[in-house]
Structure 1
């Protein structure tokens, strides 16, 4: 996850947007409409698929350790380390006896080859696909335990659960490990997720939903550890950083946010919060889901909220020992439940 530098016009636009959001929250929240629109409140009794998978915190830690122990950081400049991480992901899927496709590409006129790794479940003739993905590269010379070995570990564990439990699915699920999410390629057409999203559109593959796994392992019960992109949000959300956030966009995919929240809350005791906000809100589009939003594909980001909580963000201290693997296991279990929940909901076109 990477906050991009902003030009002056972009900064002015963002300031204006934040002022509008602030006024909207203050005015509408008093009537309840703002609260409902932003946070998608749900009842724990809402109808949702219940699952009973076993997710091992120890196994998640093993995956994170393996991804963070390359000789050099797995960034765009250290192609050997980046490929080592990709090979590890591929080997994990192959050990599960899953087919693995590689989506390879070069950046501009460069000679280096970068790789998205893809596996899938569900009916091959399904009319719609659900994408779930996480990026495996890091920013600079950081180990990237939370950002984003935690997301990749979650992706691999969800794959294991799908293979183990073999749920009946109405839609095909495509799991993608993305390359080049971090600088200098963030927000460029060379992001692995940009390449993947573009290929789906070019092939005219209909995408029901996209779930982005971005930093899933940092939790703390210390008070006042959660910050926000603008102050009024602290009156709507917890100020203790011990929850998972579902991040959606206000102008598209609000139903998706709600369905995922219902399913996750039904399958974990971990606090699950959600927000639907304009893309101009800082942090709302700081990961791979932004490339699906570009094509009007409903997409959400599941996250521990990154630098709004984790002080090790993009630092050499982003190490495996800073993560809470028990809570991370709860995240993965709930993510699996949400994924299967939306993959089991048939649309009119898929009946």
Structure 2
């Protein structure tokens, strides 16, 4: 990321596996309207009636003594709830360029480790408590290329004082790529969007806390496309019963930057659609068009299998998919902005 973006995140800390697997459904009206996010306003009492002589036709009876009490001072602007700076697509693009410049990031590679360090640094600078969760990863074949076994990490960022046994939501994005791709869209776009949302949540905390996770080893390692999402599966199985029940919903940001007229909101097709309905309703209220879809190719499937409401945001097909052509120029800043606006509207609607 450019120095200016890094400085900005530092200052902020101080103050959805295969494209063909996605089937798109027709846009339907959202069924959930988010709670209002209008800022609180302060009503002020009228000043006491003046006793000075004037041209007004009203008079003060002689038997009444005018009040001499001083009106209560108005609240200062600093007492108002904090407001997050808007989603910054330029900042997200800087992050996409930074990750793509590292190159292909197979989860067992040194390049992945460098990317995990970078993401952890960004989230720490935004004010989060960050830890790495290591897990065992088998060798296999990723998109036609043999890949080694390894021990990659999930990068987990929690707000200060976070209690995982209390209600919260999870926003995640996979950090790894297939071996032949620098992965600007798949999936630096999701990671950079997640970091930007994390910055906004720290500036303007949500009613439900948000845990942000960069997952390792989402990309398949053989098994005819069935051996994938290793990092998110490990995370879900590592979470105790009470902590798992506390997760009110999980969003996987996966390929969110390619130009499109709508933002895909996909379920895995094996669980509740309540979260997808809520997100689409919040997005509609914010003026963002979405489409419903079914997609089993990302980290949301790990949560859905555990009975947790989950969705994948993103999955628009593009020519550079899983190739060396997946570079930052395939990204459309307007699609990043639509995705950020939709998720921010949903986060603000939580209660």
Instruction: Establish whether TM, by shorter chain, passes 0.5.
Output: yes
1:341 aligns with 2:339: no
Q: Structure 1 residue aligned with 2:303, among 278, 288, 292?
A: 292
Q: 1:236 maps to which residue?
A: none
Q: 1:42 maps to which residue?
A: 30
1:288-327 equivalences under 5 Å are 288-303=299-314, 305-307=315-317, 310-327=318-335
CA contact (8 A) 1:107 1:190 kept: no
SS in 2 for 1:75: coil
Q: Once the two structures are superposed, what CA deviation does each residue of 1:83-122 show, in whole Å capped at 9, x if it has no partner?
A: 1110110010111121101111222598732100011237
Post-superposition offset of 1:340: 3.5
CA contact (8 A) 2:266 2:311 kept: yes
CA distance in 2, matches of 1:120, 1:101: 9
Post-superposition offset of 1:189: 7.1
SS in 1 for 2:163: coil
Post-superposition offset of 1:5: 12
Q: 2:235 maps to which residue?
A: 196
Give every structure 1 segment of 4 or more consecutive aligned residues whose post-TM-superposition deviation is greater than 6 Å: none
Change (3 A) 1:317 1:249: closer
Change (3 A) 1:261 1:253: same
Change (3 A) 1:271 1:191: same
CA distance in 2, matches of 1:203, 1:149: 32
CA contact (8 A) 1:132 1:173 kept: yes
1:261 aligns with 2:280: yes
Change (3 A) 1:255 1:111: closer
Question: Which sits farther off after the overlay, 154-163 or 123-132?
Answer: 123-132
1:113-262 equivalences under 5 Å are 113-121=151-159, 124=163, 127-167=166-206, 169=207, 171-184=208-221, 187-188=226-227, 191-201=230-240, 204-206=243-245, 207-219=247-259, 241-250=260-269, 252-262=271-281
Post-superposition offset of 1:74: 0.9
**Superposition CA RMSD, Å:** 3.0
CA contact (8 A) 1:114 1:179 kept: yes
SS in 1 for 2:221: coil
The size of the alignment, in residue pairs, is 278
Q: 2:289 maps to which residue?
A: 271
Question: Which sits farther off after the overlay, 82-91 or 198-207?
Answer: 198-207
CA contact (8 A) 2:217 2:230 kept: yes
CA distance in 2, matches of 1:302, 1:294: 18
Query: Greater helix share, 1 or 2?
Result: 1
SS in 2 for 1:113: coil
Q: Once the two structures are superposed, what CA deviation does each residue of 1:153-196 show, in whole Å capped at 9, x if it has no partner?
A: 011001000111123x2x33211100101121664377111111
CA distance in 1, matches of 2:29, 2:221: 37
1:98-109 equivalences under 5 Å are 98-107=128-137
CA distance in 1, matches of 2:308, 2:27: 20
Larger radius of gyration: 2
CA distance in 1, matches of 2:176, 2:288: 27
Q: 1:231 maps to which residue?
A: none
CA distance in 1, matches of 2:249, 2:20: 28
